[in-house]
Homo-oligomer: A and B are copies of this chain.
Amino acid sequence: MGMEDIDMFSEQNAKAGVTFPQGFKAAGVKAGIKKSGNLDVAVIYTEREAAAAGVFTQNAVAAAPVFASKKVIATGTAHAIAANAGCANACTGAQGEKDARAMQEITAAALGCTPEDVLVASTGVIGVNLPMDKMEAGLKAAVAALSTDGSVSAGNAIITTDTYSKSCATEVMLGGKQVRFGAIAKGSGMIQPNMATMLAFITTDAAIDGKLLQKALSEVVEISFNMISIDGDMSTNDMAVVLANGAAGNAKITSEGADYETFKATLAEICTGLSQRIASDGEGATKFLTVHVMGTKSFADAKTIAMSVAKSPLVKTAFFGEDPNWGRVICAVGYAGVPMNPETTVVKFGGIPVYVHGVGADYDETALKQVMGEHDIVVDIDMGIGTQEATVWTCDFSYEYVKINGEYHT
């Protein structure tokens, strides 16, 4: 994968996932909501009350569970996450709101907490109502199955067209205590077809003030999940939440000192790793592309340029074809709508300059061919007019993408 944080995502840590931190249990069960018959309902639970933070889709057509979970986050605490795949409960009107509320009530009754303690998330087909009889049975079964070994089943219960569940676990010293983190995530990007959505559930036994937890998550999301593009389509159901139950016994983080920085850096490492894996597992992907733009006057400019390149179908089909077509890259830079000067701009593929100051570079064709043949390819774009930078992760566009999304799903 070409990613540095391999240990956090080791097989063992991926297996531990959200139940690695003390006091968390999880389970995934088969409720018959996915047509495939695979695992499709997940519950994550901490008996000890957790500080809760969340970020949600900016899509004006947000799904019912997004509205319900935003209200939970507004209370600052939660005990559980109840999620399903196979049905997005989006564009479902008043019935959708009732169904999201019922997910909270059923889960809360089974766990012995209040509905306001239960975050809810759904992913799958838009415009279809949740089959609430199946959902009720599934939620009850998941609560009954909760265990400290349940992260793998919970992770598998929230995936849709993903080829695998993205999960990890790690620990760091905070205030002299070992503090643990775990996560499960899904989403072949914002790219999902009928089955929209990026979901990320992160658990930690750190003790941290709820507002600082939200601040850390909001900042980290800007440089991780918000830096992925597969096809530029933002889902109606995207959600990333963190539950911090304080079971590690560290001195509660209540201000932005060294402990906060360590906490935030760990969260960033988790979210960046999950983001890279989501992009790399994009629908139909055969390449994992890192688009690194530097030398701009602001982070926003660098991100705009990187996204313009990462979203260009011409760039993405070129990489699919292993075509070192820097003309398409510089073209996408040029129409990004951000100040640029061709005379100061340099583009590199895998470290090899291909476009330098307005014209194509003389490059070693054999070396460049080798770069284009790799699975992981880094595109560096130095605009030469500033000191800021941004990195976006994406994948190529293949026949398989058209196949997955051009098939008639009914």
A residues near B (Cβ < 8 Å) are: 58-62, 88, 90-93, 125-128, 191, 193-194, 196, 231-236, 311-314, 317-318, 320-323, 325-328, 330-335, 339-342, 355, 358-360, 397-399, 401-403, 405-410
In the assembly, how many copies of this chain are there?
2
| Whole-angstrom CA separation of A147 from B322 in the bound complex | 45
Are B58 and A325 interface neighbours, CB within 8 A? Answer: no
List the B side residues contacting A330 at CB < 8 Å.
Answer: 61, 91, 126
Contact of A320 among B90, B125, B326, B406 (CB under 8 A): B406
List the B side residues contacting A318 at CB < 8 Å.
Answer: 193, 405-406
List the B side residues contacting A127 at CB < 8 Å.
Answer: 326-327, 355, 359-360
List the B side residues contacting A358 at CB < 8 Å.
Answer: 91, 93
| Whole-angstrom CA separation of A38 from B320 in the bound complex | 29
What is the distance, in angstroms, from A94's C-beta to the closest C-beta of chain B? 9
Given A321-B405, A359-B93, A402-B320; A196-B312 close (CB under 8 Å): no
What is the distance, in angstroms, from A40's C-beta to the closest C-beta of chain B? 19
Are B196 and A331 interface neighbours, CB within 8 A? Answer: yes
List the B side residues contacting A235 at CB < 8 Å.
Answer: 331
Are B60 and A335 interface neighbours, CB within 8 A? Answer: yes
| Whole-angstrom CA separation of A339 from B61 in the bound complex | 11
Are A91 and B323 interface neighbours, CB within 8 A? Answer: no
What is the distance, in angstroms, from A213's C-beta to the closest C-beta of chain B? 27
What is the distance, in angstroms, from A408's C-beta to the closest C-beta of chain B? 4
Are B91 and A328 interface neighbours, CB within 8 A? Answer: no
List the B side residues contacting A328 at CB < 8 Å.
Answer: 126, 193-194, 233
